[in-house]
Structure 1
Amino acid sequence: MLALEFVSTVHAGRTGLVDDLADTGGMTVWGREHAEPLGLDAASFVADEALLAEVVELRQAVRALFARAVSPEPPSGADAHLLPPFAESLHLVNATAAAVPLAPRLDWPADGAPNIAIVPAEPASESARVRAALAASAIELLAGPCRERLRTCRAPRCVLYFLKEHVRQEWCSVGCGNRARAARHYRQHKAQSASRP
């Protein structure tokens, strides 16, 4: 889901937090990897500083909405103290999505079945189209049934949000589950060792 991949551009690495959108090079790579849902030409897309700044501002707003969605559970520890206020974030996401009205377009290839493509109803800048697609994806997730499954990973050092797939799932991945179990085992072993005479 695009919105989850978008907020996951902030994640934990071996040396601490990693921001895939730390510079225009990172934004270019991420945009090319997600060219289709963003309406980009993967071969020619190159991010500039203005697009990067606007996309990062939108990401922080979406992360603030995700933090609200998982409440009363704690938000991601990556940037909870840096997130903009909820009302400001909600306004930014809605305004960004509304800036590029979308319309269905019927595509019917000569050798295939017809299908629907959602396209901008009016000409819009590349930046506006990218941000509108990201905002719309966040709105779709947060207003739909997936919001009830949105969680913060509870593994040590993980800062990701994920969609819970089954009742007992507490972690975003098998790797995080293994780290959490190893950390719990270490704490229990240490506590038992400390209580022995």
Structure 2
Amino acid sequence: MSFLSLDFVSTVRAARSGLVDNLSDVEGMTAWAREHAAELGLDASFTASEELRQETVRLRQAVRALFARAVAPGPPSRADAAELPPFEEALALVNATALAAPTAPQLSWDGEPALVTVSPADASARLRGRLATAAVEFLASPERALLRTCQAPRCVLYYVKEHPRQEWCSTACGNRARAARHYREHKK
């Protein structure tokens, strides 16, 4: 199960060296957008600008603030909890961004009729609009109730709980958490 909004907020992740931000520069932003080009309505030649990168990072922080609110009363991600915008500001930004790049269903008829979604907006507005729309759709869906923050040591990711006993975002995080618990218990 893949959610564009989870991929988007996961552009901030933990590594052994500390936090890694895939959107920290224009090259990283361009690479991430190209990896998700089909979902974002972009072509393979898309290149981000510094202005788009900054606006996208601001949108990501707003979406992360909404995710933090969605997992409450559980703890938000430790990556940037202190740096998130206030809830009302985050909600307004996500909604305004989604409205700025309207999409409409259209009928394509190349041999067989097919439903396509088009946006008259430029690539920058389309990218941010699609990311905001993905966040709105996810947070309004039943999956929102399954949104969790991984509590493994050093992990800062959000994930959708797919199994009743799932406690971590990945097997690697589960192994790390069990190893840390074992170390704490046997350290005495």
TM-score range, shorter chain: over 0.9
Distance 1:75 1:170 in 2: 15
Match of 1:168 in 2: 165
Describe how 1:185-196 pairs up with structure 2 within 5 A.
Answer: 185-190=182-187, 194=188
Distance 1:147 1:114 in 2: 33
Corresponding residue SS for 1:118: strand
Q: Distance in 1 between matches of 2:99 and 2:47?
A: 24
1:154 alignment partner in structure 2:
151
- 1:60-106 CA-partner distances (Å, limit 9, x unpaired): 00000000000000000000000000000000000000111111011
How far apart in 2 are the matches of 1:91 and 1:109? Answer: 39
Structure 2 residue matching 1:108: 3-state secondary structure: strand
What is the match of residue 17 of structure 2? 15
TM-aligned CA deviation for residue 114 of structure 1: 2.9
Pairwise CA distance, 1:126: 1.4
Q: TM-score normalised to the size of structure 2? A: 0.97
The size of the alignment, in residue pairs, is 186
Q: Distance in 2 between matches of 1:116 and 1:155?
A: 42
Q: How does 1:6-85 map to 2 (within 5 A)?
A: 6-42=8-44, 44-85=45-86
RMSD: 0.8
AA of the residue aligned to 1:179: R
Please list the CA deviations of residues 160-185 of structure 1 after superposition, one character each: whole Å capped at 9, or x if unmatched: 00000011101000000000001011
Alpha-carbon distance between aligned partners in 2 of 1:94 and 1:83, rounded to the nearest angstrom: 17
Q: Are the aligned partners of 2:100 and 2:125 in contact in 1 as well (CA < 8 Å)? A: yes
With the length of structure 1 as denominator, give the TM-score of the two structures.
0.92
Any conservation in 1 of the 2:150–2:167 contact (CA below 8 Å)?
yes
Give 1:115 shift.
2.5
Q: Which residue of 1 aligns with 2:113?
A: 114
- Measure, in 2, the Cα distance between the counterparts of 1:161 and 1:106: 36
Moved over 6 A (4+): none
Q: C-alpha offsets along residues 17-60 of structure 1, whole Å, 9 cap, x if unaligned?
A: 00000000000100100000111111x11111010011000000
- After superposition, the C-alpha distances for 1:113-133 in whole angstroms (9 at most, x for unaligned) are 43211111xx31211110000
Equivalent position of 2:96 in the other structure: 95
Q: Conserved in 1, the CA contact under 8 Å of 2:102 and 2:121?
A: no
CA drift at 1:109: 2.8
